[in-house]
Copies of this chain bind each other. A is one copy, B any other.
Protein backbone atom coordinates (compact mmCIF):
# COMPACT_ATOMS: atom_id res chain seq x y z
CA UNK A 1 0.00 0.00 0.00
CA UNK A 2 1.44 3.32 -1.10
CA UNK A 3 1.62 6.02 1.58
CA UNK A 4 1.05 9.51 0.25
CA UNK A 5 2.97 12.38 1.83
CA UNK A 6 0.98 14.92 -0.12
CA UNK A 7 -2.43 16.60 0.05
CA UNK A 8 -5.49 14.70 -1.26
CA UNK A 9 -5.50 16.46 -4.62
CA UNK A 10 -2.01 15.19 -5.22
CA UNK A 11 -2.98 11.68 -4.19
CA UNK A 12 -5.83 11.71 -6.68
CA UNK A 13 -3.60 12.85 -9.46
CA UNK A 14 -1.14 10.13 -8.63
CA UNK A 15 -3.85 7.51 -8.92
CA UNK A 16 -5.00 9.01 -12.22
CA UNK A 17 -1.46 8.81 -13.54
CA UNK A 18 -1.15 5.16 -12.54
CA UNK A 19 -4.46 4.31 -14.18
CA UNK A 20 -3.68 6.21 -17.35
CA UNK A 21 -0.34 4.41 -17.66
CA UNK A 22 -1.89 1.01 -16.95
CA UNK A 23 -4.61 1.55 -19.55
CA UNK A 24 -2.21 2.78 -22.22
CA UNK A 25 0.21 -0.03 -21.46
CA UNK A 26 -2.51 -2.67 -21.77
CA UNK A 27 -3.52 -1.23 -25.11
CA UNK A 28 -0.06 -0.72 -26.58
CA UNK A 29 1.59 -3.86 -25.21
CA UNK A 30 -1.43 -5.78 -26.49
CA UNK A 31 -1.37 -4.21 -29.91
CA UNK A 32 2.37 -4.18 -30.61
CA UNK A 33 4.11 -6.17 -27.89
CA UNK A 34 6.52 -5.21 -25.12
CA UNK A 35 9.60 -4.43 -27.18
CA UNK A 36 7.82 -2.57 -29.94
CA UNK A 37 6.33 -0.16 -27.40
CA UNK A 38 8.64 2.61 -26.17
CA UNK A 39 8.29 4.44 -22.87
CA UNK A 40 8.00 7.69 -24.77
CA UNK A 41 5.04 6.46 -26.79
CA UNK A 42 3.48 4.96 -23.68
CA UNK A 43 3.71 8.25 -21.79
CA UNK A 44 2.46 10.29 -24.73
CA UNK A 45 -0.53 7.99 -25.18
CA UNK A 46 -1.33 8.25 -21.46
CA UNK A 47 -0.86 12.01 -21.48
CA UNK A 48 1.73 11.95 -18.72
CA UNK A 49 5.44 12.54 -18.41
CA UNK A 50 7.77 9.75 -19.43
CA UNK A 51 9.74 9.86 -16.19
CA UNK A 52 6.61 8.87 -14.25
CA UNK A 53 6.87 5.30 -15.50
CA UNK A 54 10.03 4.95 -13.47
CA UNK A 55 8.52 6.72 -10.50
CA UNK A 56 5.33 4.68 -10.27
CA UNK A 57 6.40 1.27 -11.55
CA UNK A 58 10.18 1.23 -11.16
CA UNK A 59 10.83 0.38 -14.78
CA UNK A 60 9.18 -0.57 -18.06
CA UNK A 61 9.20 -4.19 -16.92
CA UNK A 62 7.59 -3.16 -13.65
CA UNK A 63 4.80 -1.54 -15.63
CA UNK A 64 4.44 -4.70 -17.71
CA UNK A 65 3.97 -6.84 -14.63
CA UNK A 66 1.58 -4.32 -13.11
CA UNK A 67 -0.49 -4.65 -16.28
CA UNK A 68 -0.90 -8.36 -15.53
CA UNK A 69 -1.91 -7.73 -11.92
CA UNK A 70 -4.41 -5.23 -13.23
CA UNK A 71 -5.82 -7.55 -15.87
CA UNK A 72 -6.02 -10.44 -13.42
CA UNK A 73 -8.10 -8.32 -11.07
CA UNK A 74 -10.44 -7.13 -13.80
CA UNK A 75 -10.95 -10.63 -15.11
CA UNK A 76 -11.48 -12.02 -11.62
CA UNK A 77 -14.18 -9.51 -10.80
CA UNK A 78 -15.81 -10.11 -14.17
CA UNK A 79 -15.78 -13.86 -13.62
CA UNK A 80 -16.75 -13.83 -9.93
CA UNK A 81 -20.52 -13.63 -10.50
CA UNK A 82 -20.24 -16.38 -13.11
CA UNK A 83 -18.09 -18.71 -11.02
CA UNK A 84 -20.17 -18.34 -7.84
CA UNK A 85 -23.25 -20.29 -9.00
CA UNK A 86 -20.96 -22.58 -10.98
CA UNK A 87 -19.06 -23.60 -7.88
CA UNK A 88 -22.15 -24.20 -5.80
CA UNK A 89 -23.44 -26.30 -8.68
CA UNK A 90 -20.16 -28.21 -8.53
CA UNK A 91 -20.58 -28.89 -4.83
CA UNK A 92 -24.16 -29.98 -5.35
CA UNK A 93 -23.09 -32.43 -8.05
CA UNK A 94 -20.03 -33.85 -6.30
CA UNK A 95 -21.18 -34.22 -2.71
CA UNK A 96 -24.33 -32.46 -1.65
CA UNK A 97 -26.91 -34.52 -3.51
CA UNK A 98 -27.67 -38.20 -3.73
CA UNK A 99 -29.55 -40.22 -6.27
CA UNK A 100 -29.52 -37.54 -8.93
CA UNK A 101 -30.55 -39.11 -12.21
CA UNK A 102 -27.61 -39.67 -14.53
CA UNK A 103 -29.19 -37.88 -17.45
CA UNK A 104 -29.93 -34.93 -15.20
CA UNK A 105 -26.31 -34.69 -14.07
CA UNK A 106 -25.13 -34.67 -17.66
CA UNK A 107 -27.59 -32.00 -18.62
CA UNK A 108 -26.57 -29.77 -15.75
CA UNK A 109 -22.89 -30.26 -16.54
CA UNK A 110 -23.35 -29.38 -20.18
CA UNK A 111 -25.24 -26.29 -19.09
CA UNK A 112 -22.49 -25.21 -16.72
CA UNK A 113 -19.84 -25.73 -19.38
CA UNK A 114 -21.86 -23.71 -21.86
CA UNK A 115 -22.16 -20.90 -19.34
CA UNK A 116 -18.43 -20.89 -18.74
CA UNK A 117 -17.55 -20.86 -22.42
CA UNK A 118 -20.15 -18.31 -23.45
CA UNK A 119 -18.66 -16.03 -20.88
CA UNK A 120 -15.27 -16.73 -22.36
CA UNK A 121 -16.65 -15.75 -25.76
CA UNK A 122 -17.52 -12.38 -24.23
CA UNK A 123 -14.08 -11.89 -22.71
CA UNK A 124 -12.50 -12.76 -26.04
CA UNK A 125 -14.73 -10.46 -28.07
CA UNK A 126 -15.78 -7.51 -25.87
CA UNK A 127 -13.83 -4.39 -26.79
CA UNK A 128 -13.18 -3.72 -23.08
CA UNK A 129 -11.25 -7.00 -22.82
CA UNK A 130 -9.71 -7.02 -26.29
CA UNK A 131 -6.34 -5.63 -25.30
CA UNK A 132 -6.14 -7.74 -22.15
CA UNK A 133 -6.70 -10.88 -24.18
CA UNK A 134 -4.01 -9.86 -26.67
CA UNK A 135 -1.49 -9.20 -23.92
CA UNK A 136 -2.14 -12.64 -22.46
CA UNK A 137 -1.76 -14.37 -25.81
CA UNK A 138 1.55 -12.61 -26.46
CA UNK A 139 2.80 -13.57 -23.03
CA UNK A 140 2.04 -17.22 -23.69
CA UNK A 141 4.18 -17.19 -26.83
CA UNK A 142 7.23 -16.36 -24.71
CA UNK A 143 6.26 -16.75 -21.05
CA UNK A 144 7.95 -14.78 -18.27
CA UNK A 145 7.08 -14.14 -14.63
CA UNK A 146 3.99 -12.31 -15.74
CA UNK A 147 2.45 -15.54 -16.93
CA UNK A 148 2.63 -16.98 -13.41
CA UNK A 149 0.49 -14.12 -12.15
CA UNK A 150 -2.15 -14.80 -14.77
CA UNK A 151 -2.23 -18.55 -14.38
CA UNK A 152 -2.36 -18.50 -10.59
CA UNK A 153 -4.92 -15.74 -10.21
CA UNK A 154 -7.40 -16.53 -12.98
CA UNK A 155 -6.74 -19.32 -15.42
CA UNK A 156 -6.10 -22.16 -13.02
CA UNK A 157 -9.47 -21.87 -11.29
CA UNK A 158 -11.31 -21.55 -14.60
CA UNK A 159 -9.66 -24.54 -16.27
CA UNK A 160 -10.11 -26.69 -13.18
CA UNK A 161 -13.84 -25.98 -13.04
CA UNK A 162 -14.25 -26.63 -16.75
CA UNK A 163 -12.37 -29.93 -16.52
CA UNK A 164 -14.35 -31.10 -13.50
CA UNK A 165 -17.68 -30.53 -15.25
CA UNK A 166 -16.43 -32.45 -18.27
CA UNK A 167 -15.43 -35.31 -16.01
CA UNK A 168 -18.79 -35.31 -14.20
CA UNK A 169 -20.69 -35.21 -17.48
CA UNK A 170 -19.09 -38.55 -18.33
CA UNK A 171 -20.27 -40.08 -15.07
CA UNK A 172 -16.87 -40.09 -13.41
CA UNK A 173 -15.78 -38.08 -10.37
CA UNK A 174 -12.00 -37.72 -10.70
CA UNK A 175 -10.73 -35.87 -13.77
CA UNK A 176 -8.11 -37.62 -15.90
CA UNK A 177 -5.89 -36.58 -18.81
CA UNK A 178 -8.64 -37.11 -21.37
CA UNK A 179 -10.89 -34.66 -19.52
CA UNK A 180 -8.12 -32.07 -19.43
CA UNK A 181 -7.42 -32.55 -23.14
CA UNK A 182 -11.11 -32.12 -23.87
CA UNK A 183 -11.22 -28.88 -21.87
CA UNK A 184 -8.40 -27.53 -24.05
CA UNK A 185 -10.14 -28.30 -27.34
CA UNK A 186 -13.31 -26.62 -26.01
CA UNK A 187 -11.35 -23.53 -25.01
CA UNK A 188 -9.66 -23.52 -28.40
CA UNK A 189 -12.95 -23.14 -30.21
CA UNK A 190 -13.37 -19.79 -28.47
CA UNK A 191 -9.77 -18.63 -28.22
CA UNK A 192 -9.34 -18.83 -31.98
CA UNK A 193 -11.62 -15.82 -32.34
CA UNK A 194 -9.02 -13.63 -30.67
CA UNK A 195 -5.85 -15.24 -31.94
CA UNK A 196 -6.62 -15.69 -35.61
CA UNK A 197 -8.74 -12.60 -36.07
CA UNK A 198 -6.81 -11.47 -39.13
CA UNK A 199 -7.64 -14.76 -40.90
CA UNK A 200 -11.18 -14.83 -39.59
CA UNK A 201 -12.03 -11.38 -40.87
CA UNK A 202 -10.88 -12.48 -44.32
CA UNK A 203 -12.62 -15.81 -44.24
CA UNK A 204 -15.91 -14.45 -42.91
CA UNK A 205 -15.64 -11.22 -44.89
CA UNK A 206 -16.22 -9.32 -41.65
CA UNK A 207 -14.88 -5.90 -40.82
CA UNK A 208 -13.29 -5.01 -37.49
CA UNK A 209 -14.66 -5.11 -34.92
CA UNK A 210 -17.19 -7.94 -34.69
CA UNK A 211 -20.72 -6.69 -34.09
CA UNK A 212 -23.11 -7.95 -31.41
CA UNK A 213 -24.96 -10.13 -33.91
CA UNK A 214 -21.75 -11.92 -34.80
CA UNK A 215 -21.10 -12.47 -31.12
CA UNK A 216 -24.44 -14.15 -30.70
CA UNK A 217 -23.87 -16.42 -33.69
CA UNK A 218 -20.56 -17.49 -32.22
CA UNK A 219 -22.12 -18.25 -28.86
CA UNK A 220 -24.90 -20.29 -30.45
CA UNK A 221 -22.42 -22.36 -32.42
CA UNK A 222 -20.20 -22.95 -29.41
CA UNK A 223 -23.19 -24.08 -27.35
CA UNK A 224 -24.31 -26.40 -30.12
CA UNK A 225 -20.82 -27.89 -30.53
CA UNK A 226 -20.45 -28.49 -26.80
CA UNK A 227 -23.77 -30.31 -26.70
CA UNK A 228 -22.82 -32.54 -29.61
CA UNK A 229 -19.38 -33.31 -28.26
CA UNK A 230 -20.44 -34.12 -24.73
CA UNK A 231 -23.82 -35.78 -25.21
Contacts and interface: CB of A to CB of B under 8 A. Distances in A.
Contacts of A185: 189, 192, 221-222, 225
A184 interface: yes
B193 A190 contact: no
Contact of A137 (B32, B141, B178): B141
Interface string A15-55: 00000000000000001111110000000000000000000
A140 interface: yes
A188 interface: yes
A70 interface: no
A195 B134 CA distance: 11
Contacts of A200: 184
A159 interface: yes
Interface in A186-206: 187-193, 195-200, 202-204
A204 B191 contact: no
B142 A141 contact: no
A185 to B, nearest CB: 4
Contacts of A182: 221
Nearest to A147: B198
Contacts of A137: 137, 141, 195-196
The 9 A-B pairs of least Cβ separation, nearest first, read: A188-B192, A35-B35, A35-B36, A185-B189, A140-B198, A188-B188, A143-B198, A188-B189, A228-B228
9 contacts: A33-B142, A138-B141, A140-B195, A181-B218, A184-B196, A184-B204, A187-B196, A188-B196, A191-B191
Interface of A: 31-36, 134, 137-143, 147, 151, 155-156, 159, 163, 177-178, 180-185, 187-193, 195-200, 202-204, 217-218, 221-222, 225, 228-229
